[in-house]
């Protein structure tokens, strides 16, 4: 998948999940939209749910099973879950590995 396709996939999943939220994730900044961490609105349960949704969507699209929230991801200085763009970059790395 291209970076643009991954950004689109993540955006679609977040848009869908936004229906469940009182305070939806603001996606107006495109790839720079904040998902998790400072300035984000998602709780830990939202994080788990969204990560699972995105993992499944990636598997449906590529046939490849990936694990997003592994030790490598959680120990990085700059969290790959910070923005839509950083998450797309991280998924791209996993798919190429």
Partner 1 sequence: MDRIILITGTRKGIGAALADYFVSQGDTVIGCSREMPDWAEGKKNYCHFLADVADEAAVKKMFRAVAKEYGRLDALINNAGIASMNHSLLTPVRAVQQVLSTNTIGTFLLCREAAKLMRKANYGRIVNFSTVAVPLKLAGEAVYAASKAAIVSLTQTLAREYADFGVTVNAVGPTPIQTDLIRGVTSEKLEHLLERQAIHRYGTYEDVENVIEFFLRKESNFITGQVIYLGGV
* Smallest gap from residue 30 Cβ to partner 1 (A): 29
Q: Nearest 5°: CA angle at 11, between 22 and 19?
A: 25
* Smallest gap from residue 93 Cβ to partner 1 (A): 22
Grouping H, G, I as helix, E, B as strand and the rest as coil, residue 71 is helix
Q: What token pair was written down for 25?
A: 């994730």
Cβ atoms of 84 and 32 within 8 Å: the answer is yes
Residue 49 binds partner 1 (CB under 8 A): yes
What x-and-dash track marks residues 1-40 binding partner 1 by CB under 8 A?
----------------------------------------
Residue 52 binds partner 1 (CB under 8 A): yes
Q: What token pair was written down for 80?
A: 């790959």
Toward partner 1, which CB reaches closer, 62 or 89? 62
């Amino acid at each position: 998948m291209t970076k643009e396709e991954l950004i689109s996939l993540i955006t679609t999943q977040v848009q869908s999940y936004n229906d469940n939220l009182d305070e939806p994730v603001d996606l107006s900044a495109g790839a720079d939209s904040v998902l998790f961490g400072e300035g984000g609105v998602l709780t830990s349960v939202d994080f788990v749910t969204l990560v699972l949704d995105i993992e499944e969507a990636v598997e449906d699209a590529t046939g490849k099973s990936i694990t997003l929230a592994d030790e490598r991801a959680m120990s990085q200085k700059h969290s790959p879950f910070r923005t839509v763009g950083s998450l797309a970059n991280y998924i791209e790395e996993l798919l190429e590995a």
